[in-house]
Structure 1
Amino acid sequence: MVPHLTTALTGPLLELERQFLDNACDIEKWFRTQWQDHMPPFYGSTDLRNSGFKLAPVDLNLFPGGFNNLNDAFMPLCVQAAQAAIERICPDAGKLLLIPENHTRNQFYLQNVAKLVSILRLTGLDVRIGSLLPEIAEPTVLELTNGATLTLEPLRRRGGRVGLDNFEPCAVLLNNDLSAGVPDVLKGLDEQWLIPPLHAGWHSRRKSRHAAAYDRVARAFAEEIGIDPWRINPEFGVCGQINFQERTGEECLAAQVDSLLTRIRAKYKEYGVTDQPFVVVKADAGTYGMGVMTVKDASEVVGLNRRQRNKMAVVKEGLQVHEVIIQEGVHTFETVEDGVAEPVVYMMDHYVVGGFYRVHTERGRDENLNAPGMHFKPLAFETCCTLPDAAQGPDAPPNRFYAYGVVARLALLAASVEIEETAPVEEEVLAV
């Protein structure tokens, strides 16, 4: 099912898509030169928002957990891209160890792991799953509701390497975002590829650093094809000294919100946009849509009630929030089956391999959709995001999805820059 755009503001976006199509050769050449200078992450996913006048990424996940939501028709793309990534890391690889999240009761997540294992095995790798759970003391088989099974095995540390009983992998692939910190078993692995590198985990990663890297990437790209970078780039600010429970740092937050809203109003006026601008306040580290609130006026972040403070104070793994990013909100005008929708694009190496729509029937077009009650529509992208068709209009599915693929790859490139710039000296050699 192709999404329906309910906005009357398709004109400006169609014009943006037309510029992407008209400059497709230059765009692909630009990306090729960028990937010569920056090693792409092994995989990633990005949430996009399509407002009708702006198309921008609002989040980038380096430990994507929704491979089970991808359209099966794009499995060959996934396998090909995974093969390219493996060849880049260790071309003689025969064994790979996958370390997932500790969600042994989350069937959707486990199905994601099963799909990821299937993709990797089709590249010719011997793939096994090592668990960080202390209760996994021997191989444990999990039965999935879709008929698949997963075998979790206890990790074994041997010097500067980690593996399983009778299994010595060339590389270790994390599908665990390390929100709770780096477990001892993964520290000091100086004889193996660890991908993504440890510093890409949420124990140390910050969304604001990614936003800063994306800002530079978007500006360079926009100059290359002659567009206003704001059309693909959400403005942002940072407040690093806040405690929602103790109500400290509210003045900093309010000032940042007011400054950002002022800049957005100026851009709306420039483009004749009549919608009410908004910003999204997010925990600067973390995922799963936790620690997120939508704000339309600076006064809304002063004197939060107890429920609001509790919602913002803690994210995944019970981590306290003391740093927030204030990001320009991008309305979404896409709907799927009467639910507000946003595309989520998946990538492996530097290739787009598919995606899906995150849909929420109870949220508005200016709200966070990554929340309880959401569901997914496998894309439903009738074509992949890499094959534009100049014979069709800019809003034809392959061309709209090509625009999605371009912006998603910009976010991935920014993640590559971010990983390089934040790498500790001892990790630089093995950073992927």
Structure 2
Amino acid sequence: MSGFQGHVPGSRDYRRLLVGLFFGGVATFAQLYATQALLPQIAADTGSDPATAALTVSASTLGLAVAVLPWSLVADRLGRVPAMAGGVIAATLLGAAAAFSQDITVLLALRLLEGASLGAVPAVALAYLSEEVAPRHVAAAAGAYIAGTTVGGLSGRLVSGPIGEVAGWRWGVASVILLCAVAAAMFLLLVPAARGFVPGRMRSRPGPSVMSRLRVNLRSPTQLALYAQGFLLMGAFVAVYNYLGFHLTEPPFALSPAVVTLLFLAYLAGTVSSPRAGAVAVRRGRFPVLLASVAITAVGAALMAVPSTIVVVVGLVVFTAGFFAAHSVASGWTPVAAEPDARAQASSLYYLGYYGGSSLFGWLLGVVFTTIGWTWFVGSVIAMCAIAAMLAWAALRPPRVS
């Protein structure tokens, strides 16, 4: 390990690392949001309102949010790759059980446990990247990894939606789990063993305590501002994708569920924007790219307030591109800005905020939508983007060079 400087683009292990994490992202994010394209069917089948049906998404993201810190400790002790592998395997088994649960309470409980298992990959992947990739290329590699997670989220929604409309939402979820089982197998086959990190069980001397690793991150204004980006922007993002389908099935749009499912193709905008943002951040700096991405997200949200299908679709594409660009920069920035011994905890705290925001605002903005309407919902999303930008400006702006 002492002479290891990190994998560089063009090397065999660099390619294996990115492709392996790509499949890990598919296995994670396809099943994390497997029910999102099926929320109207779940609501109808269970007699629930939109906010209650959306708990099937919030339960999994809540489980993930709670589990990311424990997974970071497992990864510090046992190793990065073993932790991710164990989480992906457990989540796939729990997802298979959830697909055929007959009771809404059991479904929510299994989705909670599934999300907790899925926490292994987001808790560890970016710390693993920052340790295994040459420092100059970490931002670009993180962007490529985030692009893979968008493909996972998109594939889960596009697979579950059409199958769920024909065969019922349970078979829609089951089809996603089959996809994830294949992706998990590819992840286990491809991802290389860590060379830039020594697990705690193999060290002659223990490193800093857990509390000290958490404390050093929670006392850092830079880290707190980055966590706030994930909390606010992910909360807005998940809420839009949770409730836009309900909005578009109502007048004046009256779109069918099959057409609404196709809107998830907007995820491809994130597949393009996230690696592009990482590459631009390498040349221009992370801060201006982050701020511009948050602004683009807010513009996209504003367009979705217009009562025109075409304008809403354009707004969704712009919103999605901006969000994933911002997430790519903020998530990749987090472990780089952390102390070396606290990188896994820094990434985990980022994802704790990220999925905590998803769970909270994925439900709370549903209450806004169902009680006072879509316009106020969009206004809330724009306000969250504005707060994220102000916090970034206050804490992440680089010092002026005199």
- TM-score, normalized by the shorter chain, greater than 0.5: no
TM-score interval, smaller chain: under 0.3
Tell me which structure has the larger Cα radius of gyration: 1
Higher relative strand content: 1
Higher relative helix content: 2
Higher relative contact order (CA 8 A, sep 6+): 2
TM-score, length basis structure 2: 0.22
